[in-house]
Amino acid sequence: MSQKDWLEKDYYAVLGLKKDATDDQIKKAFRKLARQYHPDQNKDPQAERRFKEVTEANDVLSDPKKRAEYDQARSLFGSGFRFPGGGGGGGRGPSMSFEDIFSGGGGGASGLGDLFGGLFGGGAQQRGPRRGGDVETEVTIGFRDAAHGAQISVRLSSDTACESCRGTGAKAGTSPKACPTCQGSGMTARQSGGFAVSEPCSSCHGRGLTIDDPCPTCAGTGQGRSNRTIQVRIPAGVVDNQRIRIKGKGTPGASGGPAGDLYVVVHVTADALFTRQGDHLAITVPVTYVEAALGAEIGVPTLDGGQVRLKIPAGTKSGRTFRAKGKGIELKSGRTDLLVTVQVQVPEHLSPEAQDALRAYEALAGEGNPRANLRNGA
Ligand SMILES: [Zn+2]
Ligand SMILES: [Zn+2]
């Protein structure tokens, strides 16, 4: 049985029932007719065909979910509704493939949601498998997580069909009707200067449908939001504002098409000690004037909480950068470097004794005037 049969077949009539038949009535009617037309019992050549029809009708009507979808499809398309722009032939129903409409496969409801979403958005339905859309989201992670890589949860919110009305926009239990102004075509003709001009129907804004009783959940728009949370692996070494592509985690495809991709824009918070210079890690460390002048071996913190010893040669200028090889970030390609920039500290408060000592030092060092070679405008 294919779902496109739904619009052509009246399963209630097949079982000799009214549309409001109870589950019990459906069960009884099916048993009676199945016995009557069973090929083992009935040698009439038409019996086998009737038996198949009865079984098919029962398959749909005895399953509450399928029955609800069938009822909804029938009430929509049975009312003479035609697709906007489509050349559907009156009461015969629309001319497009119904596989497209029920593209949600087993889901059913999502297929209807796609249909109405497409119609209400004015977009044309495409045939065949369709790739799902790409989705972009943003996350903020800590500096160290960015350096080491991290597994994070990403909450994705996306447009979907309203759950209450399954995207129809009509209150539960009711259905959109073909627009009486345009008979469901979505277009009306107007005379203008001797020409007939076709324009979108003003009553239904080109939808071809009117809703008497709007769904209270979505206020008749048919649109809802769905939330899902997925786990995303942020690779080690990611930098601020980097865009990571996660294949197949975007919007699911339709009609067997592949899912779209998820793009995660990663914002990285600053660290109190470290910054990044490309793939390398960077840190600025204070040294005293004496350490810079005489040389020293200093301890520099590393990202993993340890320390690396760094030799500062005598006469090191403030702002000079040293490279501690392999003490940076652990990437797939190996561990990067730690770039250590020294900054000579100048004491703000000195005791009178220390001031005297500095003046004595200056006299001894005989450095002279360090600005002697600066000439203005030379
Ligand atoms: Zn709704
Ligand atoms: Zn209309």
Closest residue by Cα to residue 243 from 252, 251, 235: 235
CA of 260 to the centre of ligand 1 (A): 26
Backbone angles phi, psi at 144, to 5 degrees: -70, -35
What is the rounded distance in angstroms from the CA atom of residue 90 to the CA atom of residue 77?
11
- Cα–Cα distance measured from residue 32 to residue 51, given in angstroms and rounded to the nearest whole number: 11
Q: Which ligand is nearest to the CA of 163?
A: 1
Q: Which residue is it, tokens 């206020």? A: 219
More confident residue, 114 or 53: 53
Gap from CA of 215 to ligand 1 centroid (Å) = 4
Q: Mean pLDDT across the stretch 59-70?
A: 84
State the ligand closest to the CA atom of 214.
Answer: 1
pTM above 0.85, yes or no: no
Q: Which ligand is nearest to the CA of 208?
A: 2
Residue 159 has pLDDT above 80, yes or no: no
Q: What was the pLDDT predicted at 111?
A: 39
Is the separation of the CB atoms in 367 and 274 below 8 Å?
no
For residues 132-144, one letter each, b for 16 or more C-beta atoms within 10 angstroms of the residue's C-beta and e for the rest, the string is: beebebebebebb
Ligand in nearest proximity to the CA of 182:
2
Between the CA of 147 and the centroid of ligand 1 the distance, in Å, is 45
Which residue in this structure is represented by tokens 């090929």?
Answer: 39
Alpha helices in the chain (DSSP H): 11-14, 23-37, 47-61, 64-77, 98-101, 109-120, 143-148, 289-294, 352-365
Residues in the chain: 378
Q: For residue 187, how far is its CA from the centre of ligand 2 (angstroms)?
A: 7
Q: Model confidence at 45, in pLDDT bands (50, 70, 90)?
A: confident
Overall average pLDDT of the 324-328 stretch: 95
Instruction: Provide the 3-class DSSP secondary structure of residue 3.
Output: helix
Report how far ligand 1's centroid is from the alpha carbon of 192 (Å): 38
Average pLDDT over residues 306-333: 95
pLDDT tens sequence across 268-283: 999 999 999 989 999 9
What is the reported pLDDT for 7? 66
Q: Which amino acid is at 212?
A: D
Q: What pLDDT score was predicted for residue 39? A: 77
Measured at the alpha carbon of residue 245, what is the angle toward residues 241 and 247, in degrees to the nearest 5?
165
Ligand 2: distance of its center to the CA of 182 in Å? 4
- What is the structure's pLDDT at 310? 96
Considering the chain, what is the average pLDDT of its residues?
Answer: 80
Q: For position 113, what pLDDT does the model report? A: 39
| Pair of tokens at residue 144 | 């160290």
- Residue 224 Cα to ligand 1 midpoint, Å, equals 7
For the chain, domains (ranges, CATH) are 1-62 (1.10.287.110), 274-365 (2.60.260.20)
For the segment 186-199, the average pLDDT, to the nearest whole number, is 81
Lowest mean pLDDT among 2-6, 144-148, 298-302, 344-348: 2-6
Q: How far is the CA of 218 from the centre of ligand 2 (A)?
A: 21
Q: Residue 126: what pLDDT?
A: 46
Six token digits for residue 347:
């004491």
Q: Which amino acid is at 168?
A: T
Measure 214 CA to ligand 1 centroid, in angstroms: 8
Q: How far is the CA of 178 from the centre of ligand 2 (A)?
A: 8
Separation of CA 321 and ligand 1 centre (Å):
63
- Average pLDDT (185-206) is 82
Q: What is the pLDDT of residue 313?
A: 97
pLDDT tens per residue, range 82-137: 444 333 333 333 333 343 333 333 333 333 434 444 444 333 444 577 888 888 89
Is 44's pLDDT higher than 70? yes
Ligand nearest to the CA of 178: 2
Question: pLDDT band for position 378 (50/70/90)?
Answer: low
Nearest ligand, CA 174: 1
CA of 9 to the centre of ligand 1 (A): 28
> pLDDT of 281-318, one tens digit each?
999 999 999 999 999 999 999 998 999 999 999 999 99
Q: How far is the CA of 194 from the centre of ligand 2 (A)?
A: 23
Residue 247 CA: distances (Å) to CA of 18, 22, 123, 251, 252? 49, 47, 26, 11, 12
Is 209 or 126 the better-scoring residue by pLDDT?
Answer: 209
Question: Could you list which residues have their CB under 5 Å from ion ligand 1?
Answer: 162, 164-165, 215, 217-218
pLDDT reading at 2 higher than 80 = no
Among all bound ligands, the one having the nearest atom to the CA of 165 is 1
Q: Rounded to whole angstroms, how far apart are CA atoms 226 and 158?
A: 5
Measure 179 CA to ligand 1 centroid, in angstroms.
19
Ligand 1 centroid to Cα of residue 66, in Å, is 19
pLDDT, mean of residues 216-224: 85
Average pLDDT over every residue of 155-176: 82
CA of 84 to the centre of ligand 2 (A): 9
